Chain A
């Protein structure tokens, strides 16, 4: 599970907040899920999810493995159909190939055909789109220059991953879906990929990416949607989500506690009391000042999922 951390040096400052998007109604969503539920047999992967992405947004879908992020992406790009509810892509159905001309998707993992060459794969994808970007420039942007003639099976893991992400941009799309784009990349390659994604966004492109790393979403996204157990747990700016993710669990053994400031939630477990707070330092100072007897004080970070579930559990009957 990702440890909530503060942003690394690179912020999303380079991207303009609302790039012009010719040909689109300004406030209309490029892609939208309305009350979407998706089940696999008995398992509910998505539970009445509603979510829209507007032109020019860079949205990060954040959540643990199995939360439903990939299922949502697969519904958006027409790979799967919802069990109930509605998905709209560029004003139509994602199942309509014509709508999909406006999107680019990254293949999952590194499952590219091993016998094909890098240049051939790019050309294959390009053949599906009415217009496509120049092959040389694309490969350069993703650090793959000079590898056109190389068979995919002979690439390193990082090169395969970068090629897979590059394929999303081949067809000069308005909207790209990047599912775990930087999994398995080293720090340098990850930064280079982030730069490429930011370039696309600052040129007016819309990005939906998934990650289970808060750090990655913080570095790229302006809007973060936290998904857990098939639901949207939070939807806000990066700062708002970072605040929620900064929740700490303060555990102690004590009798009745006075009202303490900044406590988000109280849980009792035997003689132990858990206090969830966004400012553990202030809470501990307040505890000492209130002069209540306590013992066995522990302060621990919460996982993102735990933080969101704790905060949202109160409002819904689980």
Chain B
């Protein structure tokens, strides 16, 4: 446990000492919120609330996939990463610290979305719903964290960037994060339940008071968590750093 905290603290320090990384993390979701949600759904209380929830899920997805997918792949080519694997600690402090840090920076990243939503739209939540919503976001990020770790440990960084981008956008669109949930195109209704993004966003929608997660989407969400978790652990165990060193 104390090693988990140690690794978390050091990874945190490494990140915050390059502050531009934090700004980048929060920019994209905030900009999407300003350009897509405020003008189109800002006046409708339910629509704005759901769209805010979708956008926050979008932010969580992107942060989890990109931070891990690219961050891990880049770390692995540094001699420091294999060195830390010679220290007497199993995989969990390091993997756990990566997840905790990602969650922390994810929350920092969704804060601007929340502020924009509160100031410029009719979206409303009670304090309890807000807390539940944040909890649902954290839970919803799990499969993306694990997928990101899998990609980062399985691929070199250039391939990881491409794969993350290929994975991220179809999942966001297909899961219905960028369309009106109450009037979605038919193909999205058909594919969405099979994507982890749908299970995640339905959790968040339910937390802020709209609908309840459908069994199919929730079951598929659990399947994604199990598969992505198994893949992440497999890739971590298989990783030996650079081939020759």
Mark A residues whose CB is within 8 Å of B.
40, 45, 66, 70, 74, 77-81, 97-101, 103, 105, 107-113, 115-116, 120, 124-125, 127-129, 167, 171
Shortest distance between the CB of A72 and any CB in chain B (Å): 12
Q: Does B243 contact A (CB under 8 A)?
A: yes
Query: Could you tell me which residues of chain B, from 73 to 89, have a CB within 8 Å of some CB in chain A?
Result: 78-80, 82-83, 85-89
Contact B10 A116 (CB under 8 A): yes
Contact for B10 among A80, A101, A124, CB less than 8 A: A124
Contacts A97-B89, A109-B79, A113-B80 known; A79 to B10 CB distance under 8 Å? no
Contact for A128 among B3, B17, B240, CB less than 8 A: B3
Per-residue contact bits, chain B 1-25, to A (CB 8 Å; 1 contact, 0 not): 0110010001001100110000000
Chain B residues closer than 8 Å to A167, beta-carbon distance: 83
Q: Report the Cα distance A66→B85, complex, angstroms.
A: 22
Shortest distance between the CB of B14 and any CB in chain A (Å): 5
Contact B13 A115 (CB under 8 A): yes
Contact A115 B14 (CB under 8 A): yes
Most chain A C-beta atoms within 10 Å of own C-beta, residue among B18, B83, B86, B243 = B86
Chain A residues closer than 8 Å to B89, beta-carbon distance: 97, 128
Contact A120 B86 (CB under 8 A): no
Contact for A97 among B14, B17, B79, B88, CB less than 8 A: B88
Q: Does B176 contact A (CB under 8 A)?
A: no
The 8 closest A-B pairs by CB, nearest first: A111-B79, A107-B83, A115-B17, A100-B88, A105-B86, A101-B88, A108-B79, A128-B87
Contact for A112 among B80, B87, B245, CB less than 8 A: B80
Smallest CB gap from B238: residue in A: A81
Contacts A79-B82, A108-B245 known; A120 to B88 CB distance under 8 Å? no
16 contacts between A and B (CB under 8 A): A45-B244, A70-B245, A74-B240, A79-B240, A97-B89, A98-B88, A99-B88, A100-B86, A100-B87, A105-B86, A108-B79, A112-B80, A113-B80, A116-B10, A116-B14, A124-B6
Contact A79 B241 (CB under 8 A): yes
Chain B residues closer than 8 Å to A127, beta-carbon distance: 2-3, 6
Q: Report the Cα distance A195→B71, complex, angstroms.
A: 39
Contact A40 B243 (CB under 8 A): yes
Most chain A C-beta atoms within 10 Å of own C-beta, residue among B2, B83, B87, B244 = B87
Q: Report the Cα distance A148→B210, complex, angstroms.
A: 54
Q: Report the Cα distance A70→B79, complex, angstroms.
A: 13
Contact for B85 among A78, A103, A109, A111, CB less than 8 A: A78
Q: Report the Cα distance A103→B2, complex, angstroms.
A: 21
Shortest distance between the CB of A147 and any CB in chain B (Å): 17
Q: Does B215 contact A (CB under 8 A)?
A: no
Smallest CB gap from A101: residue in B: B88
Q: Report the Cα distance A3→B95, complex, angstroms.
A: 46
Contact for A105 among B83, B241, B243, B245, CB less than 8 A: B83
Shortest distance between the CB of B203 and any CB in chain A (Å): 35
Contact B10 A120 (CB under 8 A): yes
Supplied contacts A79-B241, A105-B83, A116-B14, 18 more A-B pairs, CB within 8 Å: A40-B244, A66-B244, A70-B245, A74-B82, A80-B240, A103-B86, A108-B79, A108-B82, A111-B79, A115-B17, A116-B13, A120-B13, A124-B6, A127-B3, A127-B6, A128-B87, A128-B88, A128-B89
Q: Does B90 contact A (CB under 8 A)?
A: yes
Q: Report the Cα distance A24→B89, complex, angstroms.
A: 23
Shortest distance between the CB of A82 and any CB in chain B (Å): 11
Chain B residues closer than 8 Å to A125, beta-carbon distance: 87
Contact A77 B86 (CB under 8 A): yes
Chain A residues closer than 8 Å to B83, beta-carbon distance: 105, 107-108, 111, 167
Q: Report the Cα distance A127→B3, complex, angstroms.
A: 7
Shortest distance between the CB of B241 and any CB in chain A (Å): 7
Smallest CB gap from A43: residue in B: B244
Contact A107 B240 (CB under 8 A): no
Chain A residues closer than 8 Å to B90, beta-carbon distance: 97
Chain A residues closer than 8 Å to B10, beta-carbon distance: 116, 120, 124
Query: Could you tell me which residues of chain B, from 149 to 193, have a CB within 8 Å of some CB in chain A?
Result: none
Contact B245 A111 (CB under 8 A): no
Q: Report the Cα distance A124→B2, complex, angstroms.
A: 11
Chain A residues closer than 8 Å to B80, beta-carbon distance: 107, 111-113
Smallest CB gap from B242: residue in A: A108
Q: Report the Cα distance A100→B90, complex, angstroms.
A: 10
Shortest distance between the CB of B237 and any CB in chain A (Å): 9
Shortest distance between the CB of B20 and any CB in chain A (Å): 12
Shortest distance between the CB of B209 and any CB in chain A (Å): 43
Per-residue contact bits, chain B 221-245, to A (CB 8 Å; 1 contact, 0 not): 0000000000000000000110111
Contact B86 A79 (CB under 8 A): yes
Q: Report the Cα distance A165→B69, complex, angstroms.
A: 31
Chain A residues closer than 8 Å to B14, beta-carbon distance: 113, 115-116
Chain A residues closer than 8 Å to B17, beta-carbon distance: 115
Query: Could you tell me which residues of chain B, from 51 to 110, have a CB within 8 Å of some CB in chain A?
Result: 78-80, 82-83, 85-90
